[in-house]
Amino acid sequence: MATISLSWSASNGVSSAFSLSPQRRRKFFTGKQPHLTGYAPKIHRLAVSCNHGQDRKHASENVGNSPGKLDRRNVLLGMGGLYGAANLVPSDSPAMATPTSSPDISKCTRGTNLNTRKPLDVDCCPPVSTNIIDYKLPPVEKMRFRPAAQLAGKEYYDKFEKAIALMKALPADDPRSFMQQANVHCAYCNLTYEQAGDPKQKLQIHNCWHFFPWHRWYLYFYERILGKLIGDPTFGLPFWNWDHPDGMVMPGPFANKDSPLYDARRNQAHLPPALLDLAYSAKSPRKQNKIVSNNLTVMYGEMVRNVKKLDDFYGAKYVTGTAPNPGPGSVERGSHIAAHGWTGEATPSGEDMGNFYSTGRDAIFYAHHTNVDRLWTIWRGLRGTKPKDYTEADWLDANYLFYDENAQLVRVTVKDTLDNEKMGYVYQEVDLPWLNNRPTPRVKKSKVAETSGAPAADTVFPVKLDKVVKVLVTRPKKSRSKKDKEREEELLVIEGIEVDTAKFVRFDVFVNDEDDKPDELDKAEFAGSFSQVPHKNSINVKTKIRLGLTELLEDLDVEDDEKLLVSLVPKDGGEETSIGGIKIIYA
């Protein structure tokens, strides 16, 4: 179990505007998980350590998989030389590794679909300003309070709805208006900006280590714009508390057709009381009665089991010259993507929430990402004395541009995002029912790897994921001691995942699974998943995921085994996805 250094402070009287509406008190089970406590607003305070350790070896492993690099280059050249010669220089060579800098927004282009070569039918470029100020975090005078969406009462929603309505009423060219704010997300994810130091590469802040800090800044200004519009400097965004059973439905006010929080472009089958599936698959929905239990196991995996190393939480390194999507972190590729896909329209393109160009047009996006941001705060708190952040300038000095609440264009850096209290906001405290939810195995000491007759991994890849793929993967080390395990995490690396970013994709990964019950993710055999929502700007990328094995192998009691049976189970978009290889590494 991870060392927990949480300290809780009681309500500091920040607000009395929160009450629990009775319908939100639905209980989905009566079992071992604690129910939500603390209905009075409390602040989630997490101990912050100054011990920013090193995780460099690991970080360089992540981007330095040179065979993969060559592959990618060949693939890109094979796409008709769309990428120039600059791409021939390995993007992670130390000499040119510099943090990504703010894009030149005057060079924003609508972009072309790189597969069809047709211009995109969406233009999300921002108003241009040449007056850019380096943003300094203002001293915190009043703390903003971010409540759980299912606990915030009428008084809170009256304010929130008023603020969103005022934002929608701003002139269309005001960078703070609802649509301009939605376009901020579109522009940073739809390959509309050149990278500042490498015009051959486009900027993409998803599927890499920019995911958490970039979205934190996005919400920060969004919240300040809303607060300014209603004259309330303590206004905080609500968080959609989908990691708790009480929050696993769409929060009521967002589903009210008369509310400015409503968006018609949602999956109509997923309005309350439908349960949000954090392992959502459009093609093969899971059994309703498994969802809560699956969800809590998914959260445990993303927040505890799979994230011993920084890269596996934050996502892979991305610096000037890096091609899009080097690899997403656990929350990004899992629960986060699931909630996007589940909420958006039941169409292949999934607007609004289920497509990255349009997702900011649904007000629920901001409640969704506020929860993602809260999970970042919680994860840092759970780290205790372990490193919480990269110490590399390549991460800390990376910077982005946003319009602030005064419509001033500002340049902000990653290093200013590490402490949410310094940024002037805190989270309501709610229970974390996933925290000790370590799954049990279906079968202990399974012999399935010996008896399955599955082929060895190195004879199978690359392979198309149009059916379940089962392979035997050899462990370079076995019977590791407790010390070994503390020193190095054992990781299953699934690499060369080649996907078209315009498609919804999901596949699940199981280890030594005898029963083939792909609906049941609440057992130790479930190792994790890959998923993505579509982007307007379609491009083929090669990406990878890494899944922690140390705890899983303990749970299954197979530490002494030399081979593991790994099953890749496609749920969506498998026919168009291929996998380059699987290996086990120690980092």
Using the minimum distance from each CB to ligand C2O, give the nearer residue, 206 or 506: 206
Q: Per rule CB under 6 A, is residue 185 in the interface with ligand C2O?
A: yes
Structure tokens at 411: 């340049």
**Which residues within the stretch 209-238 sit at the binding site for ligand C2O (CB under 6 A)?**
215
* Whether the Cβ atoms of residue 69 and residue 61 lie closer than 8 Å to each other: no
206 touching ligand C2O, by CB under 6 A? yes
Instruction: Please give the distance of CA 268 from its chain centroid, rounded to a whole number.
Output: 24
| For ligand C2O, the closer CB: 189 or 435 | 189
> Shortest distance, CB of residue 186 to ligand C2O, whole angstroms?
10
**Closer CB to ligand C2O, residue 207 or residue 281?**
207
- For 504-534, letters b (16+ CB in 10 Å) and e give bbbbbbbbbbeeeebbbbbbbbbbbbbbbbb
String marking each residue 320-349 x if it binds ligand C2O according to CB under 6 A:
----------------x---x---------
Q: How far is the CB of 340 from ligand C2O (least distance, A)?
A: 6
Task: Give the footprint of ligand C2O on residues 359-388 (CB under 6 A).
Answer: 369
Instruction: Compare residues 215 and 480 and give the one whose CB is closer to ligand C2O.
Output: 215
Please give the positions annotated as active site. Answer: 185, 206, 215, 336, 340, 356, 369
Q: State the nearest-atom distance from the C-beta of 336 to ligand C2O, in Å.
A: 6
Shortest Å distance, C-beta 146 to ligand C2O: 17
Q: Is 340 annotated as a binding residue?
A: yes
- Between strands 578-579 and 463-464, the pairing is antiparallel
Q: Is 535 annotated as a binding residue?
A: no
Give the count of residues interacting with ligand C2O (CB under 6 A).
Answer: 7
42 part of the interface to ligand C2O, by CB under 6 A: no
| DSSP string of 430-473, one letter each residue | ---TTTT-PPBPSSTT--HHHHS-PPBGGGT-SEE-SS-EEEEE
* Cα 161 from Cα 375, distance rounded (Å): 25
Instruction: Tell me which residue has tokens 């522009």.
Output: 187
Question: Helix count (H) and strand count (E) of the chain?
Answer: 14, 17
Closest to ligand C2O by CB, 108 vs 493, is 108
Measure the CA–CA gap between 476 and 11, rounded to whole angstroms: 51
Query: CA dist 28 to 70, 300, 438, Å?
Result: 49, 18, 19
189 near ligand C2O, rule: CB under 6 A: yes
* Cα distance between residue 285 and residue 294, in whole Å: 13
Whole-angstrom distance, CA of residue 587 vs CA of residue 574: 29
Q: Cβ of residue 401: shortest distance to ligand C2O, in angstroms?
A: 16
- Residue with smaller CB distance to ligand C2O, 215 or 308: 215
Interface characters, 126-165, with ligand C2O (x: CB under 6 A)? ----------------------------------------
Alpha-carbon span 569 to 514, nearest angstrom: 14
Count CA within 13 A, CB hemisphere, residue 517.
14
- Residues tagged in the binding site annotation: 185, 206, 215, 336, 340, 369
Contact positions toward ligand C2O, by CB under 6 A? Answer: 185, 189, 206, 215, 336, 340, 369
- Known binding site for Cu cation: residues? 185, 206, 215, 336, 340, 369
